[in-house]
Amino acid sequence: MTLKKSILFTAAAALTFLLQSCGEYKKTDSGLEYKIIVDSAGPTIELGGAAFVNVRYVNEKDTFESMKAMGQPMAIPLPDSSTTKALLEEALTMLSKGDSASFKFNNDSLYKYVFHAPLPKELKPGSTTTFYFRVVNVWSKDSVKKFRDKQREEMLAMEIKRKVQIQMDSLAIADYCKKNHLKTQRTMDGVYYVVKKSVEGVTLQPGDTAQTIYTGKLLDGTTFDSNVGKEPFPVMVGMGQVIRGWDSGLMALKKGEKATLIIPSALGYGERGAGASIPPNAILVFDVEVLKQ
């Protein structure tokens, strides 16, 4: 192809796209307004399947938003059957892989049935929001079923693995307590603890700040962390600032108490561990002092 012909071809293609984009909106029997911009011959989107789409939408106030998450197309699963209120389903089942189209949705229905939120004050009842879809890929109903079956199998395998690990941890902790002559109590979450220094008062509550001195060890006695002789470590209890086992154990203590916390792996660093010092599925033992201040 010569340069001149190439330029003419590019111009013709651009003109074709422009004419398609500027076409009039049509209406479905339900009243949905739509305009097909690119019509391909790819596989259609069926109920029970899924569409992978790039989506943009703009309302009458020119509030433009993008629903393209992290540079990847959105996965939109479709139900097995449609209803008169299924706005997105009606729109997507009109398209196939490779298609681009725009749709005008009534905002009253859009916010009620899709966004599940009140209509924003700046939008008038009866106004519309225009969506622009580009269908990147399509999964059939059978493909979605296989994907979900695989997910269920993986979740079941993970649950079995989790329960086995909990049982192994329980046996290991029982053996550790027996060898070290520890008479423990247990929090509702499953942290075992022994209060070494008890005081009167109220146990720490979620949101309380605890100033702590601690030494962390593995079951074999290896120390992996300690702030003894250093500044106290502040923890806002129950706020997820520390591992779950610490939050649970601290809420069993009072300011001024000393205790040993024995934390099952699931409430510590789990199967990932933490760096070179804490191996996967490690049970953690912490000697903790909660300062009075």
The string of pLDDT tens digits covering residues 112-157 is 888 889 998 888 999 999 999 999 999 999 999 999 999 999 999 9
Span of 34-43, 64-73, 111-120 with lowest mean pLDDT = 64-73
Name the residue among 137, 171, 174, 158 with its Cα closest to residue 44.
137
Alpha-carbon distance of 24 to 34, in angstroms, equals: 9
Out of 99, 269, 278, 287, pick the active-site residue.
Answer: 269
The pLDDT score that the predictor gives to residue 221 is 94
Task: Give catalytic status of residue 36 as yes or no.
Answer: no
Residue in this structure with the two tokens 């009606």, named with its chain if needed? 90
Mean pLDDT of 44-70: 74
Alpha-carbon distance of 73 to 31, in angstroms, equals: 27
Task: Give catalytic status of residue 64 as yes or no.
Answer: no
The pLDDT score that the predictor gives to residue 293 is 73
Out of 214, 247, 278, 283, pick the active-site residue.
Answer: 214
- Of residues 94 and 88, more confidence is placed in 94
> What's the alpha-carbon Rg for the chain, to the nearest Å?
30
Out of 34, 105, 192, 286, pick the active-site residue.
Answer: 286
Residue in this structure with the two tokens 């695989």, named with its chain if needed? 150
pLDDT bracket for residue 68 (50, 70, 90) = very low
193: Cα separation from own chain's centroid: 32
Span of 35-44, 130-139, 227-236 with lowest mean pLDDT = 35-44
The CA dihedral of 140, 146, 150, 151, to the nearest 10 degrees, is 40
Name the residue among 40, 41, 35, 42 with its Cα closest to residue 21.
35
Alpha-carbon distance of 51 to 88, in angstroms, equals: 11
Alpha-carbon distance of 109 to 142, in angstroms, equals: 30
Task: Give catalytic status of residue 224 as yes or no.
Answer: yes
pLDDT > 70? residue 7: no
Task: Give catalytic status of residue 286 as yes or no.
Answer: yes
pLDDT > 70? residue 74: yes
The pLDDT score that the predictor gives to residue 229 is 93
Alpha-carbon distance of 10 to 255, in angstroms, equals: 76
Give the three-state DSSP class for 287. strand
The pLDDT score that the predictor gives to residue 18 is 43
Q: Give the list of residues 6+ apart from residue 168 with CB closer than 8 angstroms, or none.
A: 281
The pLDDT score that the predictor gives to residue 268 is 95
Tokens encoding 144: 């979605």
Mean pLDDT of 182-188: 94
pLDDT > 50? residue 16: no
Task: Give catalytic status of residue 132 as yes or no.
Answer: no
- Of residues 200 and 5, more confidence is placed in 200
Distances (CA, A) of 149 to 139, 140, 160, 274, 281: 15, 14, 17, 32, 28
Out of 113, 147, 224, 233, pick the active-site residue.
Answer: 224
The pLDDT score that the predictor gives to residue 216 is 96
Q: Are 289 and 213 in contact (CB under 8 A)?
A: yes
The pLDDT score that the predictor gives to residue 62 is 62
How many CB atoms are located within 10 Å of the residue 280 CB? 12
Residue 195's beta-bridge partner residues?
A: 259
Domains, the chain, ranges and CATH? Answer: 21-145 (3.10.50.40), 158-290 (3.10.50.40)
50, amino acid identity: A
Task: Give catalytic status of residue 225 as yes or no.
Answer: yes
The pLDDT score that the predictor gives to residue 212 is 97
pLDDT tens-digit series, residues 263-291: 999 999 999 999 889 999 999 999 999 99
The pLDDT score that the predictor gives to residue 60 is 74
How many CB atoms are located within 10 Å of the residue 274 CB? 16
Tokens encoding 193: 């603890």
> Quick one: DSSP state of residue 239?
T
pLDDT > 70? residue 72: yes
Out of 108, 189, 208, 225, pick the active-site residue.
Answer: 225
